[in-house]
A and B are shown apart, each in its own frame.
Chain A
Amino acid sequence: MKYICRDICELLTERLLGPLAPAQQERLERHLEGCSACRQIAQQLEKQQKCLEQWSGTMRTFLIKKGEQAAAAFLAGGPIRQSRPLRWGWVVSAAAVVMAGAAIWLMQPSRKDIDFQQEPFKRIVSEPAPSDRFSAVPVVQNQNHLEEQTKIQLRQAQYFFETKNIPALAALYRAGTEPTRLAVLDYLAQINTPEARRVLEDLQKQSVPPPPPAEPNQHSAIVPRADSVPAAAEEQTEPPAAAAVVPARPVWFDPNAVDADNWRTGVLGIQVVDAVTGEPIPGAELKFDASEGISTRQARTNQFGRYELTISSSKPRFFRIEVRKKSYVPKLLMWTPDIHPAEVPLQIAVRMSPAASVGGLVRTVEGEPLEGVRIRLDSFGTAPGETCLLEPREVLTDHDGRWVFHGFPADAKENVFCSAVHPDYVPVERFGLSAAPESLFSRQFLIVMKRAHTLSVRVLNSDGNPIEEAVVWMGSYPALLRSEYKTDRQGVCKISPCPPGTAYLAVTAEGFAPSGQKVFIDDSLGEVLFELTSGFSAVFQVVDSRGSGLSGVKIEAYEWRFAKSASEYRLLVPFSSSVTDAQGAAVLKNLPAGKVVCRIAKRDFASYENFCIEPEQSSRYEIVLLPAGKLTGRVLDAQTGLPVEPFTLIDGYDRENQEKPVWQPHLRKEFSGGRYEKVLYRQDVGLAVRIEADGYLPAESRVYWNEGKEVAEDIYLQKDASALVGTVMGPNSLPVSSVSVYIDNHNSHFIIQDGRILQQPPLTHSVRTDSEGRFVLSAVEKPYRLLVCEKDGWAMAEDSFFEKEPVLHLQPWSRVEGRFFVQNKPSPNQILIFSCLVESDTLQKAWSSSYRVTTDAQGRFFCLRLFPGQITISRLLPSDEIDKINSVQLTKIQVEPGQTVFIELGKEGRRVTGRLRLTEIMQGRSGEHISLSIQASVPQAEPEPFPDFEMPVDSFLMMPEEQQQWIADLMKMPQMKAYYQKTDQTEEPFLIEAEVRADGTFIADGVPPGSYILSGTVHRPGAVRDSVEWHFQSLGKIHTVFEVPPAVSEEDYEKPVDIGEIAVKPLRELTRGEPLELPAMQDLQEHPILLSDYTGCYLLVDFGMISAPYQSEKAFEELKRMYRLHHPSGRLDVLSVCLEPFAAYERRNASVLKALRHFSEKKQIPWKIGLLLSPLDFDVALYRTLFAAPGPSLFLVDPQGRLAAMDISPEKLEETLARYLPAEPENP
Chain B
Amino acid sequence: MAAAEDNLVQQAQQGSRQAYADLIRRHFGSVYMVCLGYLGNPADAEDTAQEVFLKGYMKIRTLRRPEQFEGWIRRIARNESRNFLRRRRKETSLFAFPAEIFAAKDCSETSSYEELQTAIAAMPADLRVPLLMYYFDGRRAEHVARALGVSRLSIYRRLKEAVGLLGEVLRKGREG
Pull 19 A–B residue pairs with CB atoms less than 8 Å apart, ordered by A. Answer: A13-B160, A13-B163, A16-B163, A17-B159, A44-B171, A45-B167, A48-B167, A56-B136, A58-B106, A59-B97, A62-B104, A67-B25, A67-B32, A71-B24, A75-B21, A91-B54, A103-B15, A106-B14, A125-B19
A703 CA to B14 CA in the complex, in Å? 68
Chain A, range 32-48, C-beta contacts under 8 Å to B: 41, 44-45, 47-48
List of A residues within 8 angstroms of B18 by Cβ = 75, 120-122, 125-126
- A60 within 8 Å of B by Cβ? yes
Contact between B7 and A120, CB atoms less than 8 A apart: yes
Contact, CB under 8 Å: A120 / B17: no
Q: Is A1176 an interface residue (CB 8 A)?
A: no
Which residues from A are CB-within-8-Å of B163?
13, 16-17, 45
The smallest C-beta distance from A626 to any residue of chain B, in angstroms, reads 66
A1151 on the B face (CB < 8 A):
no
For B47, the chain A residues whose CB sits under 8 A away are: 81, 84
A13–chain B nearest beta-carbon distance, Å: 5
Q: Are A105 and B164 in contact (CB under 8 A)?
A: no
Set of chain B residues within 8 Å of A260, measured between Cβ atoms: none
In chain A, residues 106-137, which have Cβ atoms closer than 8 Å to a Cβ of chain B? 106, 117-118, 120-122, 124-126
Within 8 A of A (CB), among B135-176: 135-136, 139, 141, 156, 159-160, 163-164, 166-167, 170-171
State the CA gap A829–B95 with chains docked (Å). 48
B15, A66: Cβ atoms under 8 Å? Answer: no
- Least CB distance from B142 to A in Å reads 12
CA separation between A768 and B8, bound complex, in Å? 40
The answer, among A58, A124, A826, for a CB contact under 8 Å with B101, is A58
- Are B24 and A67 interface neighbours, CB within 8 A? yes
A67–B163 alpha-carbon span in the complex (Å): 28
Q: How far is the CA of A642 from the CA of B11 in the complex (A)?
A: 72
Distance from A774 Cβ to chain B, minimum over Cβ atoms (Å)? 30
Asked whether, in the complex, the Cβ of A53 is within 8 Å of the Cβ of B135, the reply is yes
| Contact call B101/A67, Cβ cutoff below 8 A | no
- When chains A and B are docked, how far (Å) is the Cα of A103 from the Cα of B16? 8
Q: A13-B160, A52-B116, A67-B28 are in contact. Are A44 and B20 (CB under 8 A)?
A: no
| Alpha-carbon separation in the docked complex, A517 to B34 (Å) | 67
B91 at the interface (CB under 8 A from A): no
Decide if B21 touches A71 in the complex (CB within 8 Å). Answer: yes
Contact B24 A74 (CB under 8 A): yes
CB distance from A57 to the nearest CB of B (A): 8
Task: Give Cα distance in the complex from A819 to B51, angstroms.
Answer: 30
Question: Which of these, A14, A54, A904, contacts B1 with CB under 8 Å?
Answer: A904
A48 contacts B116, CB within 8 Å?
yes
A103 to chain B, nearest CB (A): 7
- Chain B residue nearest to A124 in the complex (CB): B22
Q: How far is the CA of A14 from the CA of B161 in the complex (A)?
A: 10
Assembled-state Cα–Cα distance A13/B116 (Å) = 16
In order of increasing CB-CB distance, the 10 nearest A-B pairs are A102-B15, A67-B28, A63-B29, A125-B18, A71-B21, A99-B15, A71-B24, A71-B25, A56-B135, A102-B14
Whole-angstrom distance from the CB of B176 to the nearest CB of chain A? 15
Which residues of chain A have C-beta atoms less than 8 A from B29's C-beta? Answer: 60, 63-64, 66-67
B171 touches A91 (CB 8 A): no
Q: A51-B109, A63-B33, A101-B15 are in contact. Are A68 and B25 (CB under 8 A)?
A: yes
Q: Which residue of A lies closest to B141 (CB)?
A: A17
Contact A71 B28 (CB under 8 A): yes
Does any Cβ of B come within 8 Å of A72's Cβ?
Answer: yes
* CB-defined contacts of B139 to chain A, threshold 8 Å: 17
B contact residues around A63 at 8 Å (CB): 28-29, 32-33, 136
Q: For residues 1 through 60 of chain B, which have their beta carbon under 8 Å from a beta carbon of chain A? A: 1, 3-4, 7-8, 11, 14-22, 24-29, 32-33, 46-47, 49-51, 53-54, 57-58
List of B residues within 8 angstroms of A102 by Cβ: 14-16
CA A81 to CA B58, docked complex, whole Å: 20
Give Cα A61 to B29, complex, Å. 9
Contacts of A55 in B (CB 8 A): 97, 101, 107, 113, 116, 135
Extra contacts besides A91-B54, A99-B17, A125-B22 (13): CB < 8 Å: A10-B160, A17-B159, A59-B101, A63-B33, A68-B25, A70-B49, A70-B53, A80-B50, A84-B47, A84-B50, A118-B11, A120-B16, A121-B22
> Does A297 reach chain B (CB closer than 8 Å)?
no
Shortest beta-carbon distance from A981 to chain B in Å: 27
State which residues 300-350 of A face B: CB under 8 Å: none
Residues of A near B27 (CB, < 8 A) are 67
Interface residues of A in 365-414 (CB under 8 A from B): none
A252 at the interface (CB under 8 A from B): no
Q: Which residues of A contact B7 (CB under 8 A)?
A: 117-118, 120, 858
For residue A237, give the distance in angstroms from its CB to the closest CB of chain B: 38
A64 to B106, CA, bound (A): 17
Given contacts A66-B32, A99-B15, A860-B4, contact A71 B100 (CB under 8 A): no
Q: How distant is the Cα of A92 from the Cα of B58 in the complex, in angstroms?
A: 10
**Chain A positions near chain B (C-beta within 8 angstroms):** 9-10, 13-14, 16-17, 41, 44-45, 47-48, 51-64, 66-68, 70-72, 74-75, 80-81, 84, 87-88, 91-92, 95, 98-103, 105-106, 117-118, 120-122, 124-126, 819, 826, 858, 860, 900, 902, 904
**A125 contacts across to B, CB distance below 8 A:** 18-19, 21-22
Q: Is B83 an interface residue (CB 8 A)?
A: no
> Is B112 at the interface (CB under 8 A from chain A)?
yes
**Set of chain A residues within 8 Å of B115, measured between Cβ atoms:** 51
Q: What separation, in Å, do the CA atoms of A66 and B33 have in the docked complex? A: 12
B98 within 8 A of A: yes
Contact indicator B101/A71 (Cβ below 8 Å): no
Q: Are A14 and B106 in contact (CB under 8 A)?
A: no
- Distance between Cα atoms of A826 and B3 in the complex (Å): 10
CA distance A53 to B163 in the complex (A): 13
Shortest beta-carbon distance from B115 to chain A in Å:
8
Q: How far is the CB of A91 from chain B (nearest CB, A)?
A: 6
Q: Could you say which residues of chain A place their CB within 8 Å of the CB of B106?
A: 54, 57-58
Do residues A62 and B101 form an inter-chain contact, with CB atoms below 8 A?
yes
Minimum distance in angstroms from B173 CB to a CB of chain A: 11
Q: How far is the CB of A1136 from chain B (nearest CB, A)?
A: 61
Nearest chain A residue, comparing its CB with the CB of B24: A71
Contact between A88 and B54 (Cβ–Cβ < 8 Å)?
yes
Q: Would B167 and A14 count as touching, CB distance under 8 A?
A: no
Is there contact, CB below 8 Å, between B167 and A44? yes
CB-based nearest B residue for A147? B17
User: Nearest-CB distance from B47 to chain A (Å)?
Assistant: 6
Give the docked Cα–Cα distance between A64 and B27 (Å). Answer: 9
Give the complex CA separation of A1199 and B170 in angstroms.
86
Closest to A123 in B: B18
User: Is the Cβ of B54 less than 8 Å from the Cβ of A87?
Assistant: yes
Are the C-beta atoms of B107 and A58 separated by less than 8 Å?
A: yes
| A554 smallest CB distance to B (angstroms) | 64
Chain A residues near B25 (CB-CB < 8 A)? 67-68, 70-71, 900
A13 engages B11 (CB within 8 Å): no
Are A98 and B15 also in contact (CB < 8 A) when A48-B170, A67-B25, A75-B21 are? Answer: yes
Complex Cα spacing A507 to B32, Å: 70
- List A contacts of B51 (CB < 8 A): 87
With contact pairs A13-B160, A44-B167, A858-B7 given, residues A74 and B20 touching in the complex (Cβ less than 8 Å): yes
Assembly CA distance A818 to B57 (angstroms):
24
Residues of B within 8 A of A17 (CB): 134, 139, 141, 156, 159-160, 163
Q: Which residues of A contact B100 (CB under 8 A)?
A: 62
Question: Is the beta-carbon distance between A819 and B22 smaller than 8 angstroms?
Answer: no
**CA–CA, A740 and B26, complex, Å:** 33
Q: Which residue of A lies closest to B57 (CB)?
A: A91
A115 to chain B, nearest CB (A): 12
Q: Bound complex: CA of A91 vs CA of B52, how far in Å? A: 13
| B19, A120: Cβ atoms closer than 8 Å | yes
Chain A residue contacts of B112, Cβ below 8 A: 47, 51
In the complex, what residue of chain B is closest to A47 when comparing beta carbons? B112
Tell me the bound Cα distance from A57 to B14 in angstroms: 35
If the complex has contacts A44-B170, A48-B116, A48-B166, are A72 and B21 also in contact, measured as CB distance less than 8 A?
yes
Chain B residues contacting A120 (CB-CB under 8 Å) are 7-8, 11, 16, 18-19, 22
